[in-house]
């Protein structure tokens, strides 16, 4: 019994931050940002808007599209590195907001790989036979941890959320397999140092700007291409497929050059690679479910199509998931 995706949805805040806006904040230019990462704009939350707010909008949309009530949801899993609070979980807040009275809920932290990790976790719950309906959401409010004096990071990220509902497939379709990896030796290359138990918030951590995300861009760039393409290629080979068999490749939207290079290494034609980083920037755990919903709404996916997802994030974490699309259960 496989898990299959029966509903998709996404939400991005109304407020837009353009490259021209960033030119007024840091030493950068519209041309430099477009050439380096392929971003034209990104959406950012309004004052008081948080990860749970975006997730709640996604959750309501998922339920409406599927035509079920919140009482039908068994588990809510939210991938995020920008929860509303250290505790309670953002998933618990969403569970209450939508009145999912029968669901238990938890957050999962794997940065840009968060949605894939959460999707795999939800799929295994379905495969166990113990749970029938799982809600999986990837969300991040990246502007809450951005240093708008650091042009290497503040130009890249945006805010947004996306999600899916998982149910059991009655045919041999849905999520066919996955390859997920972690290498903790990469922790120093992409992180937010302070705010946890290692370096609790203090005047020193604030003065040193340690509550903002920092990255070694060159190292992340090289690792992302290699790691995402390696696991994606292995997953295809394990399932007797090749790049030409993939109808749509939906990689994490971190950098347009990374996206294109990964697709090329997997021998997937560029016209079958989903790219929307120009509109949203890198929304971390939100990128893949946002892109997936856009693909569905644009009729880029039909039942029977092979869909490949891939991500790379802080940790380092990375992985790939193969889906034979089938929304019928």
Residues labelled as active-site residues = 112, 252, 282
137 in helix, strand or coil? strand
Whether the ω angle into residue 316 lies within 30 degrees of 0, i.e. cis, is yes
Give the separation between CA 212 and CA 118, rounded to whole angstroms: 24
d(CA 102, CA 98): 11
Angle at which helices 114-127 and 287-297 pack, to 10 degrees?
Answer: 70
Tokens, residue 58: 């996604």
- The upper half-sphere exposure of residue 55, i.e. CA atoms within 13 Å in the direction of its Cβ, equals 33
Please list, in sequence order, all residues whose beta carbon lies within 8 angstroms of the beta carbon of residue 288, skipping any fewer than 6 positions away.
Answer: 115, 116, 138, 162, 250, 251, 252, 253, 309, 311
Neighbouring C-beta atoms of residue 278, cutoff 10 Å = 15
One DSSP character per residue, 156-210 reads TB-EEEEEEEEEE-SSS-EEEEEEEEE-GGGGGGEE--SSSSSS---HHHHHTTT
What is the side-by-side order of every strand in the sheet holding 3-11? Answer: 3-11, 159-168, 134-141, 75-79, 104-108
- CA-wise closest residue to 289 among 321, 265, 260, 326: 321
Contact 197/32 with Cβ under 8 angstroms? no
């Amino acid at each position: 019994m496989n898990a299959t995706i029966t509903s998709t949805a996404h939400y991005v805040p109304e407020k837009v931050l353009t490259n021209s806006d960033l030119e007024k904040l840091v030493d950068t230019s519209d041309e430099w940002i477009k050439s380096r990462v392929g971003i034209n704009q990104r959406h950012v939350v309004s004052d008081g808007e948080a990860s749970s707010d975006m997730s709640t909008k996604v959750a309501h949309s998922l339920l409406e599209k599927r035509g079920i009530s919140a009482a039908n949801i068994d588990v809510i899993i939210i991938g995020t590195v920008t929860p509303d609070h250290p505790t309670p979980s953002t998933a618990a807040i969403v569970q209450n907001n939508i009145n999912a009275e029968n669901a238990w809920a938890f957050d999962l932290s794997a940065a840009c790989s968060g949605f894939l990790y959460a999707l795999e976790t939800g799929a295994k719950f379905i495969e166990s036979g113990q749970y029938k309906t799982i809600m999986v959401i990837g969300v991040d409010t990246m502007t809450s941890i951005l240093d708008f004096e650091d042009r290497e990071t503040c130009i890249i990220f945006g805010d947004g959320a996306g999600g899916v509902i998982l149910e059991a497939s009655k045919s041999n379709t849905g999520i066919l397999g996955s390859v997920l990896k972690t290498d903790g030796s990469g922790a120093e290359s992409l992180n937010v140092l302070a705010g946890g138990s290692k370096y609790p918030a203090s005047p020193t951590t604030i003065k040193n700007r340690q509550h903002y995300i920092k990255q070694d861009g060159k190292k992340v760039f090289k690792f992302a291409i290699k790691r995402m393409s390696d696991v994606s290629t292995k997953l295809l080979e394990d399932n007797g497929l090749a790049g030409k068999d993939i109808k749509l490749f939906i990689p994490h939207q971190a950098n347009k050059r990374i996206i294109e290079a990964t697709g090329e290494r997997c021998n997937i034609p560029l016209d079958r690679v989903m790219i929307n980083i120009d509109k949203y920037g890198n929304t971390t755990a939100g990128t893949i479910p946002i892109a997936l919903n856009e693909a569905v709404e644009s009729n880029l996916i039909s039942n029977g199509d092979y869909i490949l997802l891939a991500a790379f994030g802080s940790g380092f974490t990375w992985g790939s998931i193969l889906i034979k699309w089938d929304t019928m259960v």
